[in-house]
Structure 1
Amino acid sequence: MARPPRKPLTADKRRAAKPAVKPAARKRRAKPAVRKKRGLLGWVLWPFKLLLRVVWALSWRGAAIVAILLGAATAYNYAGLPDMATLADGRARGSVTLQDRDGQTFAWRGDNFGGLITLDGVSPHLANAVVASEDKRYYRHFGVSPRGIVGAMRTNIQAGRGPFSGGGGSTITQQVAKLLCLGQDWDPTLGMTETEFENDCRAGSVWRKIKEIPYAMALEAKFTKDEILAIYLNRAYLGAGARGFAAASQRYFGKSVARLNAQEGAMLSGLLPAPSYYAPTNNLERAQDRAATVLRLMRDQGYLSTAEFTQAIENPATLSPAARQDTGGYFADWVMSDGPAFLTGDTTEDVLVRTTLDQRIQKAAEEALAEVFETKVKEGSEAQAAIVVMSADGAVRAMVGGRDTRGGGQFNRAVQAERQTGSSFKPFVYAAALDLGRRFDDTILDAPLTINIPGSGPWSPENYSRDYSGDVTLTQSLARSLNTSTVRLSEQVGRDIVRKVATEFGIDSDLADGPALALGVSESTLLEMTGAYAGILNGGTSVTAYGLNSLSLRGDQAPLLDHESGLGERVIQTEAARQLVYMMYRGVEAGTGQRAKLPDGRPAAGKTGTTQGARDAWFIGFTGDYVAGVWMGNDDNSPLTGVTGGGLPAEIWRETMVRVHDGLPIKPLPMIDAGREARPAPQPLPPANAPQRQQRQPDLAERILLDVLGGIFGRN
């Protein structure tokens, strides 16, 4: 049976079930991008856009590199910073404080440091003055003030300077970095002085300012703001040898830095830009004007009320009595140079020196010199003068090294100038003769004299007046400063003996060998000559001029050095010295030194001196109290005009001694009573060519024996 044909198999039509969630939309096929045309404006702006992209890429990468370098430099500087106490005292040398014979301070040398101070021990007025005048945003920046730098650059450009010339907008922290020399200490092996090194540290170059930034940031990271300010207050130089505000407070006001009032704090703060220029010891009025500017800044920034500001302006700061003293600069320099260098000029300690200076006498000498030059010296004269006043034991009481008496570090003609002594040397000729037995009333011939000098020929000295007096006493010869009679006496006594006496009295300079020795052709200093005359006053004992009484380290009780007297060995007998004092007294009373005669009957003795060609003029003399020496001349050794030792030098001496003895009782001179001791008929000295015991010079063996015996019996 045939099967019926099969129907084709087909699926049943079914309604698709609605999905619970719609299927994801079919992703459309992206159309290909079509490049947009730039157009004319696009082509114009395209280079700038490219440049902006390059600059931006370089900028953020460069900024990152700079930040990394700055961080590394800051970290490096941070690691090398010592503690605050080490940073506070940055002196390469110590200080020397000089006091007079009464213990009053009159001079400072070196770098004075008042000791480590913190902000707790400082007057708030001082701290406020420094912040107000130096860095008003100090407590609000991180060590560097970009705003301040930009402002300073703008100010410099407006003033016609370069952007980095003049004011640099440095913060207090950056100024500390300068004071610390970016962590470098001065070393003598650097090949520059300490001053040159500090100037290099303060240089305002661009590279220096760049180096300051990481160092300042390291300081800010290491210390608090108050500690950084304290370092600044400790290290800043404020003129007159004061390093730090504590030292400056004592130097100018004689008080602790904690006790400063507003006007004093403002004056000290005002010194910071130019310490020497604004120093009140140089110009008090200028320092007060500068302080007024700082006070106005303090008022404007709220540190002072209007009432406080008015009170401070109406009562400006003034110097202490010690700071007002402007005397003794030459004396201080001499003491510094004469003392042991490791405790004076090269000291690294703080040293206190007690000296022999008498400020009353020093002032008297300075005023006398000024008075004579103002009233009796031709205006415009460049002549100079020097004065030394000392006691009979060699203690120097005053020293004036020139007409300019302000400050120190000047050429000191009393100590450094070696000049021919002229007739002021003659007393040593007579001292030798008297010690050998001559008397003040012995006679000697004053007449023309010719001496044949081997290798030079005949030499004929003349008197200043060109006339001669025949037989004269030794007193008359010295008082009238006669040349021929003095040379005759020197030849009779023996030049070696004259030279020996002068040397033992303290004249260390080389003395001439020829007969002109007696007339003072040799050179010496005023200090040496005055010291030698002190030996005559004290009875014939040599002295060494001295100015240092004691030296100690600050804070120590026991002195390291002390010096109570300059007395040395006896040179001539006391009786010989007493006769010589009388002879020099007659020189003031009736001889060449009459213009030095003192009023009120006060006795004085002395000797004039005028060198060949009038290049130097001297007067050295003494009373019963003090010895004083005066020299006058030109620094270039040119002749003086119309000046002799009995003229202006004698008048300067008189003006000095009148002031020195003001109020002192009259003290007699240690001299003979000539009326009692004079012989009825003076015996003439034998002529120069007669054989004399004194003319025979001891040979070398005899001189050695005499020196040995003199040492045993205390006699030279």
Structure 2
Amino acid sequence: MDDTPKADEPTTPAPEPAEGSARGKKLKNALLALDSWIDSSIYGAGVRLRAMWESFVAFSERFNLQGPARWGVEIASEGMTWGAVGAVLMLALAVPAFRETSDDWLKRAELSVTFLDRYGNAIGERGIRHNDTVPLEEFPDHLIKAVLATEDRRFYDHFGIDIPGTFRAVLSNARAGGVVQGGSSLTQQLAKNLFLSNERTLERKIKEAFLALWLEFHLTKNQILKLYLDRAYMGGGSFGVDAAAQYYFGKSARDVTLAEAAMLAGLFKAPSKFAPHVNLPAARGRASVVLDNLVDAGFMTEGQVFGARRNPATPVDRKLDDVPEYYLDYAFDEVKRIVDTLPKGYAERSFVVRTALDPNIQKAADTAVRDSLREFGKDYGAKQAAMVVMEPNGSVRAMVGGRDYGESQFNRATDALRQPGSSFKPFVYTAALMTGKYKPNTIVVDGPICIGNWCPQNYGRSYAGSLPLITALTRSLNTVAVKLAEAIGRGRIVDLAHAMGLHTELKITRALPLGAAEVTVVDMTAAYAVFANGGVSVEPHAVVEMRTPAGEPVWNFAQSAPTPRQIIPPEIIGMINPMLNSVVENGTGRRAMLPGTKVSGKTGTTNAYRDAWFMGFTGNYVGGIWFGNDDYTSTKKMTGGSLPAMTWQKVMAFAHQGIELKPTPGLGNQPAPKLDGAVAQATPLEIDGVQRPVTLSPVSAARLMKLSAQMREAAQQPPRQPTASIDLGAATGNN
């Protein structure tokens, strides 16, 4: 078949390549080029890395060590690794230490306070000044050398931590088998004084080390030394070398002799142990050690210290001083809290503070506690005690924080957490009465009760059966208190106790109704003040008013105190107070009865006789007292109704002499009970050979203070300009 087209037939042109096909071909080529580039780049990089590795290996071969040298390098490498880990860990632990610092850290301890009692008499001072006391260059050279020779010989050579000195102290202590030499530098000791507590823990030592470095970075060596000399506690309530020189020797630190300087330098280690007014032989022995240190350090020769050895320092006789040190510590802490509330930018740092202290009651409390421990402490196995006396409005009239402030500055009235035992039961009974389901004459059953595997028993391990609620409290029956708590709920009891003034955590446990919690003496006293004042909340306070040294008012409790709240309804007070009065007159608190006035209160004794309490009140005063041991060892079966009640009675019998007796809310004007037995035969407490002197009434004291303020303001007024003289004869027309 002939397929040749004819002349009159049109021919079809051949198809051209599509445009999309050309673009696809270009893309394909580009991808191939990219793949080729990637392959060649990876190959080239591998070649270069291999060459670099071979070069590094060849270079490292030069340092290839064998034998002991290699082991040394390995150990050093491991040491550096673990050292870095340890540094990071130590830095993490030091973060809390740096939080102790702030922009105003130098001013926090700068307060200078003169304290007055409730009548305006000076009773003591607290606080220190670090810039305007004695300049460093005015301290005697032998005093500076004595301090450095004893506390830190390399002070001007180290960076805050004396590493050689620390190792030397460790070796010395190891050879002696005990702590005979401290390892902390002077800067570390200052860091502890400024920012930390005295607790002996690893955490504190770590903080102390980092804060020492922080101080060295922010201050010069002379500034650190000056702060150390001004802020260290030197015993006798004195802070700083100049204050200690004034207290112990009656002179400025500028004028102390070498023997006196040695005795002062010896106080830094243990002021309560080596204070000359407490133990003069020990103070002189310590001063002799300081003189040895001066010679050993090369600061002085034996010939230069010979005279000080032959003629040791003799301090001023402080036996007649009667400073309420624990009370002043409590008041000073309160002042610091008040200052923190003043407007920002307030520049004044010196104050004159009138307190609520009654010096007569304070002396009575000090004497009674000291005498009780001296006469009966050994028999009862008790070494410590604490007491607080306040008025029902919260004004703290007296405070005893321990048997001897010189031996221990720890305030057991404010800082020691102890179990109150049965003295906690009034909170349980009050909460029960407030439910409306119970009355003092409501019949309850004293019988066995178990909560899980816990079965509390009464003190005599017997049961009384059915009896009124008031009798159950009078006899301090444990089972009834536990049953009441189960009936009303333990949470209700905790809420009431906190509202009445207990600020510590009260864990809701089965044993809570029996006083298995931790409280302080001052909080318990404030809580019992609610019973004494008719059910109104109180704010325990020592500070009444603050003024500048020029007399300008700064703060006043009456104007700044929180508004009192009615915690317990008056009708409930009318029920619980007679019940607490029955405890004293018919129950475990009979030794606390007072002549001429009715007393309400409650005894408290904890498991294993570790704590013994008596909490009591009248219409005039509230008092709380605790006896026990700091190490929580058991006493010899001391109960709250024995030595605590007896001591409380001595103090309160003294306090109620010569004053207008007020009725206790809920008791009215019931006649005072007739005393008999040991209470009637008790010898009235005397201070300085006399019973309590007649004191001003609260109204008279307030008027006296108002008159004093007016006289002070008048004295500050500018003097009047003299007027022209007048001829009285001419003015009256007489010749």
TM-score interval for Structure 1 and Structure 2 normalised by the shorter chain: 0.5 to 0.7
Asked if 1:101 is matched to 2:90, the reply is no
Name the residue aligned to 1:274: 263
Name the residue aligned to 2:325: 328
Name the residue aligned to 2:443: 444
SS class of match (1:192): helix
Partner Cα separation in structure 2 for residue 516 and residue 238 of structure 1 = 41
Shift in CA distance, 658/235, structure 1 to aligned 2, threshold 3 Å? closer
Name the residue aligned to 2:465: 470
Contact 2:458 2:478 in 1 (8 A): yes
Contact 2:394 2:538 in 1 (8 A): yes
Shift in CA distance, 674/92, structure 1 to aligned 2, threshold 3 Å? closer
Asked if 1:662 is matched to 2:679, the reply is no
Contact 1:388 1:396 in 2 (8 A): yes
C-alpha deviations, 1:608-642, integer Å up to 9, x for none?
11122222211101122111111122222222212
Partner Cα separation in structure 1 for residue 550 and residue 244 of structure 2 = 19
C-alpha deviations, 1:151-204, integer Å up to 9, x for none?
xxxxxxxxxxxxxxxx99x89xx99xx9xx99x9999x9963438999xxxxxx
Asked if 1:485 is matched to 2:480, the reply is yes
Alignment of 1:18-37 (within 5 A): none
Partner Cα separation in structure 2 for residue 352 and residue 581 of structure 1 = 39
Partner Cα separation in structure 2 for residue 409 and residue 420 of structure 1 = 21
Name the residue aligned to 1:575: 571
Contact 2:458 2:479 in 1 (8 A): yes
SS class of match (1:602): coil
Shift in CA distance, 271/551, structure 1 to aligned 2, threshold 3 Å? farther
Structure 1 residue 588 displacement after superposition: 0.6
Alignment of 1:610-649 (within 5 A): 610-649=605-644
Contact 2:380 2:637 in 1 (8 A): no
Contact 1:114 1:244 in 2 (8 A): no
Structure 1 residue 601 displacement after superposition: 2.8
RMSD: 5.1
Contact 1:619 1:631 in 2 (8 A): yes
SS class of match (2:467): strand
C-alpha deviations, 1:547-586, integer Å up to 9, x for none?
2233445446121564675763211101211321111111
Alignment of 1:370-385 (within 5 A): 370-378=370-378, 381=381, 383-385=383-385
Contact 1:100 1:359 in 2 (8 A): no
SS class of match (1:449): coil
Letter in 1 for 2:324: T
Structure 1 residue 244 displacement after superposition: 8.1
Asked if 1:607 is matched to 2:602, the reply is yes
Partner Cα separation in structure 1 for residue 418 and residue 466 of structure 2 = 32
Structure 1 residue 99 displacement after superposition: 1.3
Contact 1:440 1:580 in 2 (8 A): no
Shift in CA distance, 197/645, structure 1 to aligned 2, threshold 3 Å? closer
Contact 1:553 1:560 in 2 (8 A): no
Structure 1 residue 664 displacement after superposition: 2.9
Contact 2:364 2:654 in 1 (8 A): yes
Asked if 1:110 is matched to 2:127, the reply is yes
Asked if 1:403 is matched to 2:403, the reply is yes
C-alpha deviations, 1:486-520, integer Å up to 9, x for none?
22333333323222211211122232434432222
Contact 1:549 1:562 in 2 (8 A): yes
Letter in 2 for 1:504: A
Name the residue aligned to 2:423: 424
SS class of match (1:419): coil
Letter in 1 for 2:622: V
Letter in 1 for 2:478: N
Contact 1:396 1:547 in 2 (8 A): yes
Structure 1 residue 592 displacement after superposition: 0.8
Name the residue aligned to 1:587: 583
C-alpha deviations, 1:674-712, integer Å up to 9, x for none?
999xxxxxxxxxxxxxxxxxxxxxxxxxxxxxxxxxxxx
Partner Cα separation in structure 2 for residue 494 and residue 238 of structure 1 = 48
Partner Cα separation in structure 1 for residue 192 and residue 437 of structure 2 = 62
Alignment of 1:164-563 (within 5 A): 192-194=188-190, 241=238, 271-275=260-264, 324-329=321-326, 331-340=327-336, 343=339, 349-378=349-378, 381=381, 383-406=383-406, 409-410=409-410, 412-437=411-436, 440-451=439-450, 453=451, 456-457=452-453, 459-555=454-550, 557-560=552-555, 562=557
Letter in 1 for 2:570: T
SS class of match (1:445): strand
Shift in CA distance, 508/318, structure 1 to aligned 2, threshold 3 Å? closer
Partner Cα separation in structure 2 for residue 602 and residue 588 of structure 1 = 12
SS class of match (2:565): strand
Structure 1 residue 425 displacement after superposition: 0.8
Q: Which has the larger radius of gyration?
A: 1
Contact 2:546 2:553 in 1 (8 A): no
Letter in 1 for 2:489: G
Structure 1 residue 479 displacement after superposition: 1.2
Contact 2:245 2:256 in 1 (8 A): no
Shift in CA distance, 499/342, structure 1 to aligned 2, threshold 3 Å? closer
Name the residue aligned to 2:699: none
C-alpha deviations, 1:287-322, integer Å up to 9, x for none?
99xxxxxxxxxxxxxxxxxxxxxxxxxxx996799x
Q: Percent identity?
A: 34
Partner Cα separation in structure 1 for residue 259 and residue 657 of structure 2 = 42
Letter in 1 for 2:323: D
Partner Cα separation in structure 2 for residue 500 and residue 92 of structure 1 = 35
Structure 1 residue 280 displacement after superposition: 7.5
Alignment of 1:57-136 (within 5 A): 93-102=109-118, 103-111=120-128
Partner Cα separation in structure 2 for residue 435 and residue 522 of structure 1 = 22
Contact 1:392 1:627 in 2 (8 A): yes
Shift in CA distance, 617/339, structure 1 to aligned 2, threshold 3 Å? same
Structure 1 residue 387 displacement after superposition: 0.9
Structure 2 unaligned runs (5+)? 1-105, 162-184, 195-225, 268-273, 285-313, 341-346, 672-735
Matched length = 468
Partner Cα separation in structure 1 for residue 639 and residue 379 of structure 2 = 18
Partner Cα separation in structure 2 for residue 336 and residue 560 of structure 1 = 14
Name the residue aligned to 2:593: 597
Shift in CA distance, 648/565, structure 1 to aligned 2, threshold 3 Å? farther
Structure 1 residue 274 displacement after superposition: 2.9
Contact 1:281 1:324 in 2 (8 A): no
Contact 1:439 1:579 in 2 (8 A): no
Partner Cα separation in structure 1 for residue 541 and residue 528 of structure 2 = 15
Structure 1 residue 602 displacement after superposition: 2.3
